[in-house]
Structure formats: structure tokens, C-alpha cells
């Protein structure tokens, strides 16, 4: 272990601000990337589902017209 104690580890030999800032921002950007990808996937599924509803309504309207 290169550090004597956990608080020493946090201090990072006096550079704690820069090291943790760099790691924090990197983690943040990876998280935004992942969440954006997952959200687009959900959005596409919702879009297709909506389209299915729309077409079901059109078909129902056509059927009602035919058997009037």
C-alpha cells in the first residue's frame, strides 16, 4: 500500500484536488454516455410502441367504416 492511512490516500500527497477532479469528471462523462445510450434505446422502443397503437387505431377505424 503506497499510503500509510486512508486519509493519507485521500490527500494524494497534496494533489488530492487535481486527481479526484480528473477522476470525478471522467466518471461523470462515462455515466452520461451510458445513460444517454440507455435512454435512446428506451425512446426507440416507446416510438415503435406508439406507432403500433396508431396503426391499431387506423385499422379499427377502417373496420368500423367497412362494416357500417
Partner 1 sequence: MLECKDLTCVREQRVLFKQLNLIVKPGEILHIEGPNGVGKSSLLALLTGLSSAYSGDVYWQQQKITAQRETYYQDLLYLGHKSGVKAELTALENCQGFQRLYSSQTDVDLYDVLLKVGLVGYEDIPAAQLSAGQQRRIALARMYFTECKLWILDEPFTSLDKEAIKSLETCLIKHAQQGGIVVLTTHQALSIPEANYKKLFLTKATVEEHYV
Partner 2 sequence: MLKWLHPYAKAEHSYALAGKLMPWFLILTIPSFLVGIVWGLAFAPADYQQGDSFRIIYIHVPAAMMAMAAYSTMAIAAFVGLVWQVRLAEMAVAATAPIGAVYTFIALFTGAAWGKPMWGAWWVWDARLTSELILLFVYMGIIALYNAFSDKVLAGRAASILTLVGVINLPIIHFSVVWWNTLHQGATITKFEQPSIATEMLIPLLMMIFSFATFLGFMILYRFRNELLQREQHRAWVVKLVQAKQRG
Query: How many angstroms separate the CA atoms of 17 and 10, rounded?
Result: 9
Q: Which of partner 2, partner 1, none sits in contact with 14, Cβ below 5 to 8 A by type?
A: partner 2
DSSP 3-state assignment of 1? Answer: coil
CA atoms within 13 A on the CB side of 25: 5
* Contacts with 16 (C-beta within 8 Å, 6 or more apart), sequence order: 10
**Which C-beta is closer to partner 2: that of 33 or that of 68?**
33
* From 59, 63, 64, 65, residue interacting with partner 1 (rule: CB under 8 A): 59
Residues between 13 and 52 with contacts to partner 2, criterion CB under 8 A:
13-15, 18-19, 21-23, 25-26, 29-30, 32-34, 36-37, 40-41, 44-45, 47-49, 51-52
Amino acid at each position: 500500500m503506497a499510503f500509510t492511512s486512508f486519509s493519507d490516500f485521500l490527500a494524494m500527497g497534496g494533489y488530492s484536488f487535481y486527481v479526484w477532479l480528473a477522476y470525478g469528471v471522467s466518471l461523470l462523462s462515462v455515466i452520461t454516455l451510458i445513460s444517454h445510450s440507455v435512454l435512446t434505446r428506451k425512446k426507440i422502443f416507446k416510438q415503435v410502441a406508439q406507432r403500433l397503437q396508431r396503426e391499431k387505431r387506423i385499422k379499427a377505424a377502417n373496420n368500423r367504416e367497412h362494416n357500417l
